[in-house]
Amino acid sequence: MPARHELYILEALRLREKYRGQIKVLVGFEGEWIRRSDTNFILGYAQDPRIDFFIGSVHHIHEIPIDWGLELFEKAKQSSGGIEEKLYEDYFDAQLEMLTSLQPRVVGHFDLIKLLSSDPTRDLRIWAGVWMRIVRNLKIIVEQKALLEINTSALRKGLSEPYPGRVICEV
């Protein structure tokens, strides 16, 4: 959607100029990681000198959306062997690929995978492999001096806490 992206940037720059001296308008975008081949596409947008930052995020596992409805979430789970714990592992592994390939300044909705899961309130420390991946990814975010977005859209979508959840924020 390059034409739409360009229109967005032009409007953001217009608003930046209009409100100069009143507020600081930053221009950014969300680069959704689907597959490794998206790297150059996202980084190409990020290198535009008019862009102040971008948010790196993961919405797909095995190229299947995980937050567009329960049917697709279940399809993604099947692509991970039908086991939700394995789906979570695959999610945080995809997030690792995104982190190392894109090195975003902001990481979006860190644990989005919980949205349509069978138990969104599950304490992820019970799954050793998942928890290890979470801690690993958080360490990389710190090493990259990136920011972790606290996203309250999870509350609007019926979850009891934002992305990321409390136990992850405590780390």
Q: What tens digit of pLDDT does each residue of 45-79 get?
A: 999 999 999 999 999 999 999 999 999 999 999 99
Residue 16 lies in a domain: no
Residue 66 lies in a domain: yes
pTM (predicted TM-score): 0.94
Structural domain for 139, as ranges: 29-170
Residue 42 lies in a domain: yes
- On whether the CB atoms of residues 96 and 138 are closer than 8 A, the answer is no
Q: What tens digit of pLDDT does each residue of 104-152 get?
A: 999 999 999 999 999 999 999 999 999 999 999 999 999 999 999 999 9
Q: What counts of helices (H) and strands (E) characterise the chain?
A: 7, 6
From 30, 148, 47, 33, select the one nearest 97 (Cα to Cα).
33
Quote the number of domains for the chain.
1
Q: How far apart are CA 141 and CA 92, in angstroms?
A: 13
Residue 165 lies in a domain: yes
Q: What are phi and psi of 54, to 5 degrees?
A: -140, 155
CATH assignment of the domain containing 106 = 3.20.20.140
Residue 120 lies in a domain: yes
Residue 93 lies in a domain: yes
Helix (H) or strand (E) run with residue 101 in it: helix 84-102
Residue 60 lies in a domain: yes
